[in-house]
A and B are shown apart, each in its own frame.
Chain A
Amino acid sequence: MRNRIICTLLLLLVMVLPSAGLAEGVVNVFNWEDYISQDALDLFTQETGITVNYMNFTTNEDMLVKVRNSPSSFDVVFPSDYCIERMIHEDLLSPIDFANVPNLQYIDHNLLNPSYDPTGEYSVPYMWGTVGILYNTTLVTAPVTSWSVLFDQQYQNNVFMMDSIRDCLGVALKYLGYSMNTRDPLELNASKDLLIKQKKDGIVKAYQVDETKDKMVAGEAALALVWSGDAQYAIDLNPDLAYVVPDEGSNIWVDGMVIPKAAKNKANAELFIDFMSRPDVAQMNCNEIWYSTPNVAAIELMGDDYRDNLTMNPTQEIVDRCEFFLDIQDFIQIYNTMWLEIKSA
């Protein structure tokens, strides 16, 4: 009996000993969950022979912790805009050699050299979107054009806000006419008071992030603060829903592809980024995850349905009233303190 146990243990040990490190022709990709088309990955391996080690993270902050602690483990990472800014600041990224990324020509020029990456050499946009209001047209009778509807007593206990500091405070700031990246504590304080009032008045049903879209489909609430991709998902499943970016303006976000400085397979990483920017591949990804693609040629390939869909393909006018989140560096302390006050009100 003892021998059997020892044998099993040894067998297990042998099986679990981690296999040797990186072989030639490998690229380590670190991306959000459910954010790419598996067919695209397979096609990449098929065409180039490079194996893709695909890993996921759940939030930008988690990703940052992991990249800081083992920077050489990843070749391509997909952070969000303000995170890219912070990574540049912390000298974690290497500039991309655009001679190796000719497909850059297909990316929307408006999104190149953005405020979070002014020289444009550290990132290539992958997907983008907006933040707006998803509402149930059967429960919300008046047309929705302003953030004020989220603070309206009429919808008491019928609003889902986002469990995210920047997004919630950003909405309140925009509604009051300030910038989403303000460093003025008085402006922030006003937004904080507004959000506390919203909570105390019982307007907010819950603060959540990913559960919102399924719940809106089920009709749990009348209004919700969501990202455009989630909105499209929900609308597909429940045609009573609609999405709008309010007049006061909102947040536009971009998830980009970057290469960490300590990456082991830089050449493969650039090949990967170039591949993802190819119009047909961008189309595959877009079809799979239903966010907005920055790839102009891909938009053409997606057809009229996509082009005319304001949720997925907002007009320039809508985009103009939105702003990016910038990295607020150590001001996050003040933002976070306010957020905690709101959450425990």
Chain B
Amino acid sequence: MNQSLSLPSWMLWLLGLFLLGFVLLAVYSVKRTNGIRRSFFASPYSLWMVLFTIVPCVLIAYYALTDANGAFTLDNFRNFWDSNYSVNQLYTQMGPEYEVLIQRGTVNIGILVYSLWMALLCTIICLVLGYPAAYFMADRNIKIGSILVVLFIIPMWMNFLLRTIAWMTLLEDQGLINTLLKSLGFHSVQLMYNDRAVLLGMVYNFLPFMVFPIYTSLTKMDSKLLEAAQDLGANHLHTFWRVTAPLSLPGVISGITMVFMPSVTTFFIPRILGGGNTMMFGDLIENRFLTEGNWNLGSALSLIMMVLILISLSVLRKADPEGEGGGMI
């Protein structure tokens, strides 16, 4: 699988056009905004992004639409839909005795659906666990609140690989939790090598990403609104449902975005905590690129993934049209 890295000249022209287009965009926005030259500040960033994001994306698209020799083909996408497509072609070439092996494979699709499902579960659990945490954190007086934020941040700064491996020490059959259970007289429970452990790992990793945006939007909320609601006769539940929740929605949307997207493409956790028993889409892409050396198919899979994520992002954006999402503040 020799990956030819020299691009044809038409591609270089295309890249040049992109560059030109973005420079023009910057100039255009300068001219149109009544002389406030602030929009020009975005041009260094535009240039950077064109170079380091757009161009690589174009390269990915290039690999997705070509085969190993550089010729245009849609086979990579056919291989996504039917994971045995190329293999079946090989069988037909090799001879009629192998015809019995020809069947459609749903490996790629199956793994994609599974990953989406796991990501959904993870997001829901993070939301259910994270919202109350953010709510209670925002509810306290300033001093303790910010210390809590600090305490939430610190685990994120410890290396994620090591923390996941530490979970392994806890969850193994001979691990700490089971040793504790056995000493208390219970049977040991298999906590690892299954979906549940992977889900646990994912929630553990992404929970802070859900808590922070919600916490941010809750703290931004004007407490006078709450007082006003209570003055007008609403009880706690009513206040929450009618006032707090809608105002924290941008934060929730932001949190969902920050959790769902990475959790679809996570790849270390299924291997360590799931015992390699299940494959997720991140593992699949890594497998295609590195183990199989099939950059074309790997790029096609990545492209499909990116499109899916973009679609779900735009759906989420409908729920937060102002884009007030708290980010991570």
Q: Are A and B interaction partners?
A: yes
Within the complex, the shortest CB–CB distance from A204 to chain B, in Å, comes to 7
> Beyond A61-B291, A186-B98, A218-B174, is A337–B87 a contact (Cβ under 8 Å)?
yes
Cβ contact within 8 Å between B107 and A330: no
> Beyond A59-B290, A185-B91, A186-B101, is A90–B174 a contact (Cβ under 8 Å)?
no
In the complex the two chains form, what is the Cα distance from A205 to B173 in whole Å?
11
Question: Is B83 an interface position by the 8 A CB rule?
Answer: yes
Return the 6 tightest CB-CB contacts between A and B, nearest first.
A206-B275, A207-B276, A218-B174, A336-B292, A163-B276, A340-B107
> Beyond A163-B276, A207-B275, is A62–B173 a contact (Cβ under 8 Å)?
no
Q: Which residues does chain B contribute within 8 Å of A64, judged by CB atoms?
A: 293
Cβ contact within 8 Å between A206 and B277: yes
In the complex the two chains form, what is the Cα distance from A93 to B84 in whole Å?
34
The chain A residue sitting closest to B87, CB to CB, is: A337
Cβ contact within 8 Å between B291 and A165: yes
Within the complex, the shortest CB–CB distance from B267 to chain A, in Å, comes to 13
Main secondary structure of the interface of A (DSSP, over half): helix
The chain A residue sitting closest to B190, CB to CB, is: A157
Question: Is A343 an interface position by the 8 A CB rule?
Answer: yes
The size class of the interface chain B forms with chain A is 35 or more
Report the interface size for chain A: residues with CB under 8 A from the other chain: 34
15 additional A-B residue pairs with CB within 8 Å, beyond A185-B98, A204-B277: A163-B276, A185-B91, A185-B101, A206-B274, A206-B275, A208-B276, A211-B272, A332-B292, A334-B90, A336-B292, A340-B83, A340-B279, A344-B107, A344-B114, A344-B279
Question: Is A197 an interface position by the 8 A CB rule?
Answer: no
Write the B144-171 contact mask toward A (1 if CB under 8 angstroms, else 0): 0000000000000000000000001000
> Beyond A165-B291, A185-B91, is A205–B83 a contact (Cβ under 8 Å)?
no
Question: Is B253 an interface position by the 8 A CB rule?
Answer: no
Binding site for A on B (CB under 8 A): 1-3, 83-84, 86-87, 90-91, 94, 97-98, 101, 105, 107, 110-111, 114, 168, 172-174, 190, 192-193, 271-272, 274-279, 284, 287, 290-294
Cβ contact within 8 Å between B105 and A341: yes
Cβ contact within 8 Å between B287 and A336: yes
Question: Is A288 an interface position by the 8 A CB rule?
Answer: no
Q: Which residues does chain A contribute within 8 Å of B111, judged by CB atoms?
A: 340, 344
27 sample A-B contacts, Cβ–Cβ < 8 Å, listed by A number:
A61-B290, A64-B293, A185-B91, A185-B98, A186-B97, A186-B98, A189-B101, A206-B277, A207-B277, A208-B276, A215-B172, A215-B174, A218-B172, A220-B173, A334-B90, A336-B287, A336-B291, A336-B292, A337-B107, A340-B83, A340-B111, A340-B279, A340-B284, A341-B105, A341-B107, A343-B278, A344-B110
Binding site for B on A (CB under 8 A): 59, 61-62, 64-65, 68, 90, 157, 163, 165, 185-186, 189, 199, 204-208, 211, 215, 218-220, 330, 332-334, 336-337, 340-341, 343-344
Cβ contact within 8 Å between B271 and A208: yes
Cβ contact within 8 Å between B292 and A333: yes
The chain B residue sitting closest to A192, CB to CB, is: B101
In the complex the two chains form, what is the Cα distance from A211 to B279 in whole Å?
18
Q: Which residues does chain B contribute within 8 Å of A341, judged by CB atoms?
A: 105, 107
Cβ contact within 8 Å between A220 and B172: yes
> Beyond A206-B277, A333-B86, is A340–B290 a contact (Cβ under 8 Å)?
no
Q: Which residues does chain A contribute within 8 Å of B287, judged by CB atoms?
A: 336, 340
Q: Which residues does chain A contribute within 8 Å of B84, judged by CB atoms?
A: 337
In the complex the two chains form, what is the Cα distance from A199 to B84 in whole Å?
21
Q: Which residues does chain A contribute within 8 Å of B284, judged by CB atoms?
A: 340
